[in-house]
Amino acid sequence: MTGLPPPRRRFVGSFISWTERMRVFRADEALEVDSSDRYEIRRRRVFFDEVLLATVHRELGGGPYPWSFASLALLAALLSLAFASEPAALGITLGIAGLFGVLALAGFLLPSWIVTVYGKRARARIRYRLREAKARTLYEEVCQAAAEAQRALAERQSPPPVVEVPLPPEPPYSA
């Protein structure tokens, strides 16, 4: 035990796909990515002095959620076939299928903004649904932190300036 407090982390966002879930935290010198692919949890860091590229772009749809609503709508529509002889139950199940269908359509049409930061060994992705200002703020914050870290690294690695001392003039030779 060194007695040092743990580094402070601030949650900045997450990215959820069909196969992986990422939670991204901001630390002092890096973005920390905790990714889970069902069985393993890995922590990777994208250090600000190693950032190669940062992007922000808009995408329609919100990941796997619209597909979930679409499949629920299909299942509810198929369930309504079982109630074809009962008009009240048929109306209820078709109403539920319609509700899930509208939710799926809204999920496909609503925009989300994705901030991606590429480092030498890792990548961090964060999805913001309907929050463009928050995505752009994080993008600018990451770009500024990366520029400062890379500038400081360049100053540390640059050799000290060589100062040339002029030689004193040689005395004239007499023959």
d(CA 105, CA 77): 16
pTM for this one? 0.69
54 is a domain residue = yes
Same domain, 117 and 43: yes
Examine residue 39 and state whether it is found in any structural domain, yes or no.
yes
Residues 6+ apart with CB under 8 A from 80: 90, 93, 94, 97
What was the pLDDT predicted at 89? Answer: 74
* 18 in any annotated domain: yes
Please indicate, yes or no, if residue 164 is contained in any of the structural domains.
no
At residue 117, the pLDDT reads 95
Q: What pLDDT is stored for residue 98 in this prediction?
A: 75
Q: How confident is the model at residue 115, as a pLDDT?
A: 94
**Residue 94: what pLDDT?**
74
Q: Which residue do the tokens 């979930």 mark? A: 68
Provide block-wise average pLDDT over 10 residues at a time, the chain (175 residues). Answer: 71 84 91 87 92 91 65 70 73 75 76 92 90 93 93 83 78 69
Total count of residues recorded for the chain: 175
Q: Is residue 100 part of a domain?
A: yes
Is 96 among the domain residues?
A: yes
Same domain flag for 51 and 73: no
Rounded CA Rg of the chain: 28
Report the pLDDT value the prediction gives residue 158, as an integer from 0 to 100: 75
Cα 27 to Cα 11: distance, rounded to the nearest angstrom: 9
The distance from CA 122 to its chain's CA centroid, rounded to whole angstroms, is 11
Both 83 and 104 in a single domain? yes
Bridge partner list, 11: 25
Do 55 and 17 lie in one domain? The reply is yes
**Same domain flag for 100 and 118:** no
Which CATH number does the domain housing residue 122 bear?
2.30.29.30
In this structure, are 74 and 144 located in the same domain?
Answer: no
One domain for residues 94 and 126: no
Question: How is residue 129 written in tokens?
Answer: 């649904």
Structural domain span for residue 38: 10-59+111-153
My answer on whether 89 and 19 are in the same domain is: no
